[in-house]
Structure 1
């Protein structure tokens, strides 16, 4: 009796890098994807469009760009994630991109996390992304009041507001 041949999964599925079911649903919307990838020290946000030969990155924003605007605090926390989202939303507005869909990949999501802070920044900048208001972090966490009380930094919220105004004013 013959043995059945094994079917081999896609390489990226085997390596647990891509969820093709989720990717197909996102691609069927035919809108750019807002891809948010957090790391311990930084936050990266990209607007990506699907093309048959391969995805094309339209716009990219990284929390490292906040240093150029004068941000001197950690780039891996909730306030810097919000500012990164605001930055990518502003760049998208300049390129006349009005809507997108959130793509978090295989990240586990928690209400009020850095990913949702970045999403709120993009929504506040003017991008139309379908999401619920319940998932966003509290306004006090976005402004960094929990950090300023812990580290005893008085000018944290002033610094946050000045960087936010710089992002919104930059052409």
Structure 2
């Protein structure tokens, strides 16, 4: 406190005053009176009187009101975020009373930093497919950029995508209007070639890549020149240029797939290579490449191409857990497939794909006529005819009544 000109004490807000105000507020909260916009006048008067009595200062109401507004603002902030923390009202107030640093740490932990107006005005969202996590634009730019001296020559990509039940392989080129698909093959086409189950494993990916390669080469009338690797041995294979036309070249587009050693996408790549496509690649990511030996083991790779890993798992389950084998491989059992004849099955599928890789259009059944539960709207002529019919019925009924009255008389 300072002495004024006429001996009056000059008011100055201090920490003890703030502590007293918060203690009184805590007592009011226990009574159900919270420091919001409807704060009772009696509580405010109680704060003023208590500080007057202890500190004997003048001009208190305005000063107390200013500090009370600050507490209200702090309280409203806590009201907005208290649901996330699970604190009670009393605990929130104790945090304010304890120390300003505790309160500020609490606010900073739960209230996100607001961006400035300039930031929001200039902010540009990412591309839609980037926001959805579907396209790696960094990789896409490098895959579709074409040399300027090649003018409008399309640059093809061998695109492989996996879903839970299907594999999609496409030959795609980019244009200003959008991507253009030259040819496509799907794992759900493999039942036509004899593979009815296991449509998403490494061996099925190989079959899908082989199907696409043979299909696009037949479409371009290059299938006889470039037969590819007819019998898959697991060794790396690259097509050699023929005397007349160069091999069809495409770049592998894996999208957001993790390119780990033995990934199924490289099974599709191996199928396309054996089918006769020219795709720049290395052997480090094929199944069977040794990390320590730094070499590809063709036998291991061949086992994966012909479903040997599936057959090995079948044998393990038969010996160790027969019940699990019955449930996991129930579809194999229905079709009479055993671990010993899986390799022969895939050999037949490869031969069938090479024999006829063309796409077949599925025959769609005509849609069934659905029963209508709402009344069909009548045309003007139908409504007019219906009205005339009703009027005629009424007239005939009225005529019959008149005849009955005459007979009674």
TM-score (norm 2): 0.40
Unmatched segments (≥5 aa) in structure 1: none
Secondary structure of the 1:130 match is coil
**Farther off after superposition, 146-155 or 157-166:** 146-155
Greater relative contact order (Cα < 8 A, sep 6+): 1
The total of aligned residue pairs comes to 171
Task: Give the CA deviation at 1:2.
Answer: 6.8
> By percentage of residues, which structure has more strand?
1
> Structure 2 CA distance, aligned partners of 1:112 and 1:84?
16
Residue 147 in 1 paired to residue 310 in 2? yes
- Separation in 2 of the partners of 1:127 and 1:63? 19
Q: Would you say the 8 A contact 2:259–2:285 is kept in 1?
A: no
- Of 189, 214, 219, which aligns to 1:95? 219
Instruction: Give 1:147 shift.
Output: 1.1
1:17 positional shift: 2.1
Where 1:133 maps in the other structure, the secondary structure is coil
The correspondence for 2:262, drawn from 97, 109, 112, is 112
Residue 99 (structure 1) shift: 1.0
Task: Please say if residues 101 and 130 of structure 1, whose CA atoms lie closer than 8 Å, have aligned partners that are also in contact.
Answer: yes
Whether the aligned pair in 2 keeps the contact of 1:92 and 1:127 (CA below 8 Å) is: no
The equivalent of 1:74 in structure 2 is: 198
- Corresponding residue of 2:274: 124
Q: Which runs of 5+ in 2 are unaligned?
A: 1-115, 147-153, 221-246, 288-300, 316-337, 358-409
Higher helix share: 2
Query: Could you tell me which residue of structure 2 aligns to residue 56 of structure 1?
Result: 180
Cα deviation code 1:33-81 (max 9, x no counterpart): 1110012222110111111111111111001111011113210111111
Q: Structure 2: how far apart are the matches of 1:16 and 1:24? A: 16
* The one of 103, 106, 123 aligned to 1:6: 123
Question: How far apart in 2 are the matches of 1:88 and 1:161?
Answer: 17
Choose from 10, 15, 34 the match for 2:132: 15
TM-score of the two chains, using structure 1 as the length reference: 0.91
SS of equivalent to 2:273: helix
Runs (4+) off by over 4 Å: none
